[in-house]
Structures are given as C-alpha cells and as structure tokens.
C-alpha cells in the first residue's frame, strides 16, 4: 500500500514545521499536482465572484490562493539545493514545467486580470495602507510583466519560454555541481602536502578514507578543501591543476554548460522583447533601485575606475614580493592566493590559519546567536524538529522580553554529495497572513564549512565566520519580518537592496567587542588575543583593489550577457573574454567563469550581480551609524530592526532607508571603509 502523502495533510509537528522525516521523493509530484488543482479552484472562486472587485476579494484573495502549492514547491526546491539526489534532479524536469505552466495560466487569465486592473485603476480612492498599495502595485505589474497585455500569439510564446527556462536553470546548477564533484586530486606522496595546514591534511586523509583510499589524501573542489590547497600548497604544479579544474567547471566535459547559457540568454532576451523591452537587463532593472542598465553600467564603470589602478598596484607589489622569495617565473592566477597569503603574513605578522583555532563552529554559532540577541532582543534555543539530514540542527527563536515564538531557524553547515556549493539563506515558510491566520517564518541557513575531523571540531576561517554572519543577516531579515502579506515578507525586497541586511553584519565580525563573545581557542579556552584581532583589522583592506576589481568584473560580465544580442554570440568563452577585457589583469588560462556562474544562470541574480557592491554602499553607510552610536546601541538597533528588517518589501527601499538613516546613503561610505578615500572629519 502506498504511504500517505504528508505534503497533502496538515502538518501535526510543533508549530506546523515540515515533517522532513516523513517526506519522500515520490510525494512531491502528486502534492504539486494537488496544489495546482486547489489553487485553480481558489482562483475560479475569485473570478466568478458576483461582487465588484476590491482589494480584499481580489488582490488579498490571490495572495492566499496558492498556499499549498507554494509550501510544497518551497520544500522541493530547497531540498533540491540542500540534498540534490538524482531522483530530485529528475523530478525538477517535471515539476518546473508544471509550475511554470500554472503560473502562465494565472498571469495570462484575462478575466482575472480584469478584476486586478479594476482595483488598480481605482487605487487612489481606496485608502490603502502603504503595504497594501505596494502589494497592489506589484500585483498589477506582475500581470503586465508576465504578459497579460499580449495578444494570444505573444502569450503562447511567452508560456513556452517560461516553461523552457524553468528546466534550464536547475539543469545549469546541476551541471556545475556534477562537474565539480567529478574532479578529485588524489595525493600519494606526503611531500606534495608541504605548506598545507594540518587541518587541511587531516580533512584530506579522512576524505580519502571515506572513498576507500586509506593512506592517501583526497582534495576536492568543495571550497573547504580547494581554498586551503590553492592558498598554502607549495607544489605549484598541483596548485595549477586544482585551479584549472575549479576554473573549468562545466566547460568542455560531459556537464558542459555552454549550450545551456546560449539557450538561457536567447530565451530571456526574446521574452524581454516580446514584453516591449530592449533586452533582459532593461526588463529586470525596471524593478530595481538602479532602474536602468545605463545606471548600473555607470556604477560598475565608476568601480572599475577606482579598483583597477589599485588592483594593478596590488599585482605589481605581489610580483615584486614573490621575486624577493626567489620566484623567477611569470606570476599566474594559481600563484596569487599563495603569494598574497605569504605577503599578508609578512606585512601583518599573522596567517589566516592562526585564527582558525579560535573559531570552533559550536562556540562561534553560540556567540553569533548572542550577538543577534544583543542587537534584536531574541533568544535561540535548540529544538527537536524533523530535519532533512543528520548534520542539520534546529532552533526555536523567541522574543527575549515576552517569550513569544518568532520562528524556527535550521542550520545546515557541512558539504556533502548532492548539496549545492556555496552558502545561502532560504525559507520553508515566510512570515505573514495564511488562510488560518498570521504565521511566523521557518528559515534555513545552508553553508559548506570545514567539516570536523576525528581529532578536532569544525574550525572555521575568519572568512567562514564572515559567511556565517552574512547568512544570519539574511535570516534575520526573514525572521524579524512583520508584514501582513507574505509575498512581501523579509527578503522579498527589490533585489539590489536584499544584500544590505546580510553584508552589514560582516562588519561586526571585525570588532573586538563582538569577537570577544565567542573567539576562544578550542583546546585551551584562551580568548583570542587583542593584538591578533588588531592584525585582522589592519589586514582588512589588504588587496582591496584586487577583490573589488573581481566583483566589478563579475558585475560587468553579468551585464554583458544580459544586454548583448544573443544572436551574435556563438562562442561562450570568446564572448566572455571580450566582455571582461578591461576588468581582468590576466588572460584566460582555463574555462570561462560563465559556465559555473550559477548566480546568474542557475539563480536569481541575472542582470543583478552588481547588487553586491550596490548594497555595500548601503551597508558601509549603515555601519558608520553603529560605529558612531555604539555597536549595540539599543535605539539604533531598534530603529534598524523596525524600519528595515520588519518592513520587508512593504515599501520602496529608498523610503525605508531614509526612514532609518534620516537621509539617503552616502555613496562615499564604501570607499572610506576600504581606505580608498579619506575618512570624514
């Protein structure tokens, strides 16, 4: 007898958390189909209502129409990223088109659109709240941008494009992941490990054991393995091998993404033109703070003009430094991490590895929770909820003063087969109104940190601590949301505003007051020495030109793909080489970045990668206020919580930011922080 489908029943777990222990792969497709059926019935009720269209009976009703489908799809796609088994990958090829076609049916339904338009046309007389006005505006524009005003031929073609894109994005991400997993560097000679920190050697030995290669060492392209190797391994030939493999993911192998890229950009360009836009970037940026491709390009070119001379100096200094160590060859990309780490050690008298013993994951996580507790008055308590893997831990988040339930936080920290690389925040339920009342969110942070070994806990690098603070910043945006309509909760903001709450948190991880909450040696319990913290602060802007140029380079590459005429592109690598010729200091020695650029081809950042640097301006300006008032100043933190985090996408970000800061962001704040502009005063 087939097992009962938990996705089709009300969840009976505490707080109605998803019953991951009961959900099986075969449950998703029937649940998606049932969710679509239920949503269609709900939409039919809205359309056939004898009442005149109102905000409540049309727009608010639409918000709730696809509740079950949204919940099932959310769980499915989150699991596809966190636990992407082959059966889940196969299911994505079925679920994507099903969901896409349903969305097209809704957005292209003339009768439904008529009701939405009737409400929109009388919006000035409706006495709506600011949030309702935003929801209505976004709802109407969603229909128009989804093709509601097109003729039947245009609608049909748009439907076909959306269906194809729903499959191509997950396919691109799968290829990147599979290509990465297909490579291993197996080392048999201990001499080849010279220069590597003990933590990396131990992890590689344990990886070898897991693969039945006892007595050898296995390195992979997972960043906790790849990063230390490319930074510390003395063996230059092996560094080159690792670098080339990483740089060539999903290029000229069985998982090659070139054809996928050309299909994706062609379809997105065609969609934009059908809808009356010049290109995909123009279509996307209409719904961003930046507004137009011209504004984004001006921003990126300003960054390029600032960072490139600084990066050229960084590289020249590095070449001189390497020469002083007896390096006589031409410096190549696989040498940059290695020699820049040695140069940093010489300049600032510490190594990145010196920090690792002070950052064992468990105490760091506890201290991170304490940091957010001090800022926002919340408490994190370990809780027993069903989880999707034994590595995942769950926490109840409650209000410190009232004890009220704020939400559930899931934490999934270690790499494993099938899991997407990188780090991200996602939600299994957004905060807001549901059919049976207001609900609090279920939020997950997913990372790929250094795994524990038999002899040591998971010891983080400072970069990994920054990643934790970053993803927890996103999580707080979701967790502390306090809106009515879940479609506008938390991170549902204009895309170039979404990185402010995450990136601003990284600033605290450089401050002694914050590091003292958790940075203790995992063996001795000794607090991290003040002079080591100072060295980290002193080194913060080391190679800032180089890293800034890298971000500008990726932003320019993204914009090139989404403003060019795809009909003129036949060779992915040649197109990339041309697009980034002004923003790179090396020729291309391996595959193009594009074939593994999942942010723009397998995620939501197409024509939006610039937003990382855009939001850095906001985060630098925000943190200047905390530096001025106090890192944990209660009034500033409360205002930031109420005006930015709680509001989600209920109002335009420029309004939210001005309400918080009392003015627009100072565009020079970022360059001041990076030491490329003198401080004020």
569 and 434 in one domain? no
501 and 390 in one domain? yes
Confirm if 626 and 457 have CB atoms less than 8 A apart. no
Give domain status of residue 153, yes or no.
no
Give domain status of residue 300, yes or no.
yes
Task: Identify the DSSP state of 459.
Answer: B
CA dihedral sign of residues 408, 416, 605, 7: negative
Predicted local confidence at residue 597, as pLDDT? 97
Residue 325 is encoded by which pair of tokens? Answer: 């160590």
Predicted local confidence at residue 1, as pLDDT? 39
Give domain status of residue 151, yes or no.
no
CATH number, domain at 51? 1.20.1050.40
Round to the nearest angstrom and report the end-to-end CA distance of the chain.
Answer: 75
141 and 31 in one domain? yes
136 and 49 in one domain? yes
228, 247, 266 - which closes a domain:
247
Q: Write the CB contacts of 408 (distance below 8 Å, at least 6 apart in sequence).
A: 15, 17, 383, 385, 394, 395, 396, 397, 441, 442, 443
Give domain status of residue 253, yes or no.
no
Q: Write the CB contacts of 58 (distance below 8 Å, at least 6 apart in sequence).
A: 46, 49, 115, 116, 118, 119
Q: Which of 171, 353, 430, 471 is an active site residue?
A: 471
HEC per residue, 508-530:
HHHCHHHHCCCCECCCCCCECCH
Give domain status of residue 301, yes or no.
yes
Give domain status of residue 152, yes or no.
no
Predicted local confidence at residue 435, as pLDDT? 95
CATH number, domain at 343? 1.10.1370.10
CATH number, domain at 624? 1.10.1370.40
Residue 427, strand partner residues? 443
Which of the residues in the chain have pLDDT under 50? Answer: 1
Separation between Cα atoms, residue 651 and residue 267, nearest integer Å: 31
Give domain status of residue 233, yes or no.
yes
What are the DSSP E strand ranges found in 205-355?
217-219
488 and 396 in one domain? yes
232 and 331 in one domain? no
Give domain status of residue 334, yes or no.
yes
412 and 456 in one domain? yes
522 and 382 in one domain? yes
616 and 470 in one domain? yes
Active-site residue flag, 526: no
Predicted local confidence at residue 45, as pLDDT? 97
Confirm if 373 and 517 have CB atoms less than 8 A apart. no
Domain total in the chain: 4
643 and 503 in one domain? yes
530 and 649 in one domain? yes
264 and 231 in one domain? no
The residue range of the domain holding 195 is 183-247
């Amino acid at each position: 007898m087939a097992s009962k489908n938990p996705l089709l029943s009300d969840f009976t777990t505490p707080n109605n958390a998803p019953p991951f222990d009961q959900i099986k792969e075969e449950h998703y497709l029937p649940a998606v189909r049932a969710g679509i059926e239920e949503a269609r019935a709900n939409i039919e009720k809205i359309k056939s209502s004898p009442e005149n269209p109102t905000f409540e009976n049309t727009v608010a009703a639409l918000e709730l129409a696809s509740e079950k489908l949204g919940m099932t799809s959310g769980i499915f796609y989150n699991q596809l990223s966190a636990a992407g088994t082959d059966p889940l990958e196969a299911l994505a090829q079925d679920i994507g088109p099903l969901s896409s076609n349903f969305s097209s049916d809704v957005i292209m339904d003339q009768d439904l659109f008529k009701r939405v338009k009737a409400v929109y046309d009388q919006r000035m007389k409706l006495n709506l709240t600011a949030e309702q006005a935003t929801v209505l505006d976004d709802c109407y524009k969603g229909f128009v941008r989804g093709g509601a005003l097109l003729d039947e031929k245009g609608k049909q073609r748009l439907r076909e494009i959306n269906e194809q894109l729903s499959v191509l994005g997950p396919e691109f991400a799968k290829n990147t992941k599979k290509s990465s997993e297909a490579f291993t560097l197996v080392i048999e000679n201990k001499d080849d490990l010279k220069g590597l920190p003990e933590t990396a050697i131990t992890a590689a030995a344990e990886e070898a054991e897991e693969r039945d290669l006892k007595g050898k060492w296995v390195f992979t392209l997972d960043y906790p393995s790849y990063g230390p190797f490319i930074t510390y391994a003395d063996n230059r030939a092996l560094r080159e091998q690792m670098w080339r493999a990483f740089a060539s993911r999903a290029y000229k192998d069985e998982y090659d993404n070139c054809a996928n890229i050309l299909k994706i950009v062609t379809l997105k360009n065609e969609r934009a033109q059908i809808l009356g836009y010049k290109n995909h970037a123009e279509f996307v940026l209409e719904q961003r703070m930046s507004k137009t491709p011209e504004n984004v390009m001006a921003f990126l070119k300003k960054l390029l003009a600032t960072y490139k001379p600084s990066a050229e100096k960084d590289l020249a200094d590095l070449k001189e430094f390497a020469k002083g160590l007896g390096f006589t060859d031409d410096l190549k990309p696989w040498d940059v991490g290695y020699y820049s780490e040695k140069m940093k050690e010489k300049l600032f008298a510490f190594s990145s590895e010196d920090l690792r013993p002070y950052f064992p994951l468990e105490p760091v996580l506890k201290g991170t929770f304490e940091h957010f507790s001090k800022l926002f008055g919340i408490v994190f308590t370990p809780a027993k909820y069903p989880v999707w893997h034994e590595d995942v831990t769950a926490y109840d988040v409650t209000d410190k003063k009232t004890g009220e339930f704020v939400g559930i936080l899931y934490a999934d920290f270690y790499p494993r087969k099938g899991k997407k690389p990188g780090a991200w925040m996602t939600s299994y339920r957004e905060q807001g109104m549901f059919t049976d009342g207001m609900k609090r969110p279920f939020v997950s942070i997913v990372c790929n940190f250094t795994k524990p070994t038999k002899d040591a806990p998971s010891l983080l690098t400072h970069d990994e601590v920054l990643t934790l603070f970053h993803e927890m910043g996103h999580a707080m945006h979701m967790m502390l949301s306090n809106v009515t309509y879940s479609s506008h909760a938390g991170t549902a903001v204009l895309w170039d505003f979404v990185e402010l709450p995450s990136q601003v948190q990284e600033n605290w991880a450089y401050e002694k007051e914050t590091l003292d909450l958790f940075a203790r040696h995992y063996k001795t319990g000794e607090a991290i020495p003040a002079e080591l913290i100072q060295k980290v602060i002193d080194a913060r802007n080391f190679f800032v030109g180089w890293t800034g140029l890298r971000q500008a380079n990726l932003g320019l590459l993204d914009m090139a793909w989404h403003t060019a005429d795809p009909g003129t592109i036949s060779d992915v690598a040649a197109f990339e080489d041309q697009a980034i010729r002004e923003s790179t200091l090396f020729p291309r020695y391996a595959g193009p970045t594009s074939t593994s650029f999942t942010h723009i081809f397998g995620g939501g950042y197409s024509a939006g990668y610039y937003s990382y640097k855009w939001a850095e301006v906001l985060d630098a300006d925000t943190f200047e206020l905390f530096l001025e008032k106090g890192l944990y100043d209660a009034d500033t933190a409360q205002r930031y919580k109420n005006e930015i985090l709680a509001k989600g996408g209920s109002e335009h970000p420029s309004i939210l930011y001005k309400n918080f800061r009392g003015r627009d962001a100072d565009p020079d704040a970022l360059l001041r922080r990076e030491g490329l502009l003198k401080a004020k005063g």
